[in-house]
Amino acid sequence: MLLRLRAIAWALAVSIDQLAHIILAAPKYLILGGPVPDPDETISSKVGRMAVRGRRWALIAERVIDWLFERLGEAPGHCRRNIGR
């Protein structure tokens, strides 16, 4: 039962992350155009992709997000590991 609850909690957390990504990306898309935000992408994935491209804001955000996930017990490199997931 505990494993099932953990699986549901993780799925819920990912879906909230995906929703947050769309909420944050929508104004930029509506005002400036560009590609439609991917509803299956998480914030970590977007930050990882943009960090690989050398975007300054993403490199800063990547450090913060990776630091937080390391404190939660994950291995370093959370954002880049989640590109395309």
Range of the domain at 51: 2-81
Kindly give the residue spans of alpha helices, DSSP state H, lying in the chain. Answer: 2-32, 43-52, 56-71, 78-81
Q: Which residues contact 52 (CB under 8 A, 6 or more apart)?
A: 80, 83
The pLDDT score that the predictor gives to residue 84 is: 80
Residues 6 or more apart whose CB falls under 8 angstroms from that of 54 comprise: none
pLDDT in tens, the chain (85 residues): 889 999 999 999 999 999 999 999 999 999 999 999 999 999 999 999 999 999 999 999 999 999 999 999 999 999 999 998 6
Residue 36's region, left for phi above 0, alpha for psi from -120 to 50, else beta, is beta
Place of tokens 């609850």: 5
Q: Domain tally for the chain?
A: 1
Cα torsion angle, 53, 79, 59, 34, sign? positive
